[in-house]
Amino acid sequence: MMNPLKITRRDTATGPVLHVVGELDYDQADDLRAELDRLSLDAGQCLVVELAGLEYCDSTGITVLLAARQQTRAARADLVLAAAPPHLLRILGLLGLDQVFTLRPDATAATGSADATGTGGSTGTV
């Protein structure tokens, strides 16, 4: 049942992009947490988490995404969830988190724009 979580990272002009593939659940969410711990974000940068390959996300996975949000806010950086698949969008909607995360249809749109709070998807309310 369980597919391993694969995380690859690339650095762009606007900030790091984490490409997350697999299942983000109780057993594997720590891998993403560890990857986030290794990031050093500068103020004004934008961390993009690219989620097109995300197959599953449970409440622990949601917690890690919220931790990433906390981490970027502490660094006065931005967080964008790019290409979130429908199942994740449904859960984010249920939890009201579509009001909290900045969502973009794809990573290119997220990094291509110098203005990280541009259009596309829902914008953060806080």
Partner 1 sequence: MCRAGGAPEPADPGDETDGARMDAAFTSLLEDSAEDLYDSAPCGYLSTMMDGTIAKVNATLLDWLGLERDAVVGRKRFADLLTVGGRLYHETHFAPLLRMQGDLRGIALEMRTAGGGRLPVLVSSVVKYGSEREPLLIRTTVFDAADRRAYEEELLRRRRDAEQARTEAERARAEAERARAEAEEARRQAEADRERLADALAVLQRSLLPDTLPELPGMEAAVYYHTASPDQLGGDFYDLFPVDEHRWAFFLGDVCGKGPQAASLTSLTRYTLRAAAHHDPEPAAALTTLNTVLHERYGRSEDPRYCTVVFGILEPGGDGGPTKIRIASGGHPPALVLRADGRAEFLPTPGGLLIGVLPSALISTAEAVLAPGDTLLLYTDGLTEARTGPTRESLYGEDALHAFATALAPAAPQETITALNRLLDGFGDGLDDDTALLALGVPATRSHSCPATDSP
Chain residues binding partner 1 by CB under 8 A are 1, 23, 26, 55-56, 58-60, 62-63, 66-67, 70, 87, 94-97, 99-100, 125-126
Beta carbon nearer to partner 1, 13 or 125: 125
Chain position carrying tokens 């969502």 = 103
Beta carbon nearer to partner 1, 12 or 33: 33
Beta carbon nearer to partner 1, 67 or 89: 67
Query: CB of 63: closest distance to partner 1 in angstroms?
Result: 5
Interatomic CA distance for residues 10 and 18, integer angstroms:
7
Q: Which of 85, 87, 105, 98 is nearest to 124 (CA)?
A: 98
Beta carbon nearer to partner 1, 17 or 68: 68
Exposed/middle/buried for residue 100 (C-beta within 10 Å: 0-12, 13-18, 19+): middle
Query: CB of 75: closest distance to partner 1 in angstroms?
Result: 14
In three-state secondary structure terms, 14 is coil
Which two structure tokens, joined as six digits, stand for 69? 């949000």
Query: CB of 1: closest distance to partner 1 in angstroms?
Result: 8
Interatomic CA distance for residues 18 and 7, integer angstroms:
7
Query: CB of 13: closest distance to partner 1 in angstroms?
Result: 29
